[in-house]
């Protein structure tokens, strides 16, 4: 990564030595002899990284650091000093400094620190891009809904997303996209800036489920050496998604009643009730009414979850969405496999539209992924579609 780095130090010899080192590392460098000069410069350009002397005439490094954030400057800052104190280091970290280093004659020791800082910047950029891309793919206006069934469902989802507290139950066959729809609701609600926290009711044992969900206090059980926050804590201000809740045993179901109704819980080993601020969305491929009638699902939990419920239709009942979804997956895997496959031939279209997709959208995605691996041209053909015949 070629970075933009600002160097601020009142000692010309040290400043020039830093500039020489960083230039040799192929970075773009600007240097300043005072904090005041730096603050003027960041009005025009925000660098990736600032190396900032702590003790300077005029503004100190700490004072400069205090002034940077109100200006919207999100550059990483490494403070440098020849005679720093523990108090200075603590204050610098509180103000958001990335690191605090003692100046040495051997500047080569700075190289790994600079490299670590730039790796941190790259990671932040990737996470930011991922978050932005994730938000885009869940926006209601970007969703594929050519079929009447999906258009109707999304109209209803748009309305319920605006109520940030009502529990929601999503029903439908495996692979229809219940988790995807839960994320759509989250990203189109007032909770969009909060976390989306998922817990599987199928893959975890009852003990693991309870510990992961509620968290625990020190000494709650053998091996609990310190307090651990649970997923309910992590879901604060966001959404808790209970995936396939119909697979949960009756004892664990009972522990969820208060969470769904009042969003109140207690950590394992705790003595105080904790009030949370999150929405509960649950999904199930099972018919929960039938499960209640058979005694396999708690009626009180079902009624609380069923305040608002949606049935996600299987893809065989929304044929109009098959080819648009297939082309979306073609685009995704075209980028991943670096292939320019631009269309689907008529025979392949017919094969896809006539196939019943027992695995629903998930199976369609898997079929297109394999087809994109096999495809040698720019058009996807029926011979590229193993399993969809």
The four Cα atoms 121, 85, 13, 99 give a dihedral, to 10 degrees, of -10
Smallest CA-to-CA distance from 230 within 183, 179, 195, 185 is with 195
Strand order in the sheet with 239-243: 196-200, 239-243, 279-284, 168-171, 309-311
- The CA distance from 305 to 253, in Å, is 11
What's the CATH number of domain 4-132, 3.40.50.2000, 3.30.360.10, 3.40.50.2300, 3.20.20.70? Answer: 3.40.50.2300
Residue-wise pLDDT tens digits, 129-172: 556 566 678 888 889 999 999 999 999 999 999 899 999 999 99
pLDDT at 128: 62
> According to CATH, where is 3.40.50.2300 located in the chain?
4-132
CATH topology of domain 316-384: Helicase, Ruva Protein; domain 3 (1.10.8)
Q: What is the mean pLDDT of the chain?
A: 89
Q: How far is CA 387 from CA 348, 351, 356, 357, 375, in A?
A: 12, 10, 11, 10, 15
Query: Residues for the chain: how many in total?
Result: 389
pLDDT given at position 129: 56
pLDDT tens track for 275-287: 999 999 999 999 9
Pairing mode of beta strands 99-102, 76-81: parallel
Name the pairing type of β-strands 274-275 and 264-265. antiparallel
Per-residue pLDDT tens over the stretch 209-239: 999 999 999 999 998 888 899 999 999 999 9
Task: Work out the pLDDT band at 119, boundaries 50, 70, 90.
Answer: confident
What span, in angstroms and rounded, lies between the C-alpha atoms of 147 and 159?
Answer: 19
Residue 236 neighbours by CB under 8 Å, 6+ apart = 194, 195, 276, 277, 278
- CA–CA separation, 291 and 301 (whole Å): 12
What would the pLDDT profile of 49-76 be if each residue is shown by its tens digit?
A: 999 998 889 998 889 988 887 777 888 9
Long-range contacts of 41-44 (CB under 8 A, 24+ apart): 41/6, 42/6, 42/68, 42/71, 42/73, 42/75, 43/71
* pLDDT tens digits along 20-56: 988 988 898 999 999 999 999 998 888 999 999 988 8
Tell me which residue of 216, 221, 212, 224 sits closest to 270, measured CA to CA: 216
pLDDT at 280: 97
Output 301 or 271, whichever has higher pLDDT.
301
User: For the domain 138-313, what is the CATH superfamily, name and number?
Assistant: P-loop containing nucleotide triphosphate hydrolases (3.40.50.300)
Domain with CATH 1.10.8.60 in the chain: 316-384
């Amino acid at each position: 990564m070629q970075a933009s780095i600002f160097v601020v130090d009142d000692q010309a010899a040290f400043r020039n030595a830093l500039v020489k080192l960083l230039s040799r590392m192929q970075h773009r460098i600007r240097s300043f002899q005072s904090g005041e000069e730096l603050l003027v410069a960041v009005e025009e350009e925000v660098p990736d990284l600032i190396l900032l002397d702590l003790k300077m005439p005029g503004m100190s490094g700490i004072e400069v650091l205090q002034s940077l954030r109100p200006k919207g400057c999100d550059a990483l800052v490494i403070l440098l000093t020849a005679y720093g104190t523990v108090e200075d280091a603590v204050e610098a970290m509180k103000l958001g400094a990335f690191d605090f280093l003692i100046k040495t004659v051997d500047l080569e020791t700075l190289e790994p620190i600079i490299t670590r800082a730039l790796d941190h910047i790259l990671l932040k950029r990737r996470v930011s891009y991922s978050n932005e891309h994730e938000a885009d793919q869940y926006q209601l206006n970007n969703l594929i809904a050519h079929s009447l069934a999906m258009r109707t469902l999304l109209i209803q989802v748009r309305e319920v997303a605006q109520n940030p507290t009502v529990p929601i139950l999503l029903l439908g066959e495996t692979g229809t996209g219940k988790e995807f729809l839960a994320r759509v609701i989250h990203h189109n609600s007032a909770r969009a800036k909060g976390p989306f926290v998922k817990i599987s009711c199928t893959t975890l044992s009852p003990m693991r489920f309870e510990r992961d969900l509620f968290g625990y206090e020190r000494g709650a059980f053998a091996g609990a050496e310190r307090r651990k926050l649970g997923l309910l804590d992590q879901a604060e201000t966001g959404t808790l998604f209970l995936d396939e809740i119909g697979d949960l045993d009756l004892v664990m179901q009972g522990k969820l009643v208060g969470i769904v109704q009042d969003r109140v819980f207690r950590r394992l080993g705790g003595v105080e009730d904790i009030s949370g601020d999150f929405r509960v969305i649950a999904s199930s491929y099972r018919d929960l009414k039938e499960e209640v009638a058979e005694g396999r699902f708690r009626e009180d939990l079902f009624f609380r979850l069923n305040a608002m419920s949606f049935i996600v239709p299987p893809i065989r009942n929304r044929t109009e969405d098959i080819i648009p979804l297939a082309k979306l997956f073609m685009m995704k895997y075209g980028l991943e496999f670096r292939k320019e496959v631009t269309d689907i031939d008529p025979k392949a279209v017919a094969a896809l539209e006539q196939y019943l997709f027992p695995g629903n959208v998930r199976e369609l995605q898997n079929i297109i992924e394999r087809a994109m691996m096999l495809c040698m041209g720019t058009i996807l053909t029926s011979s590229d579609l193993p399993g969809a015949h």
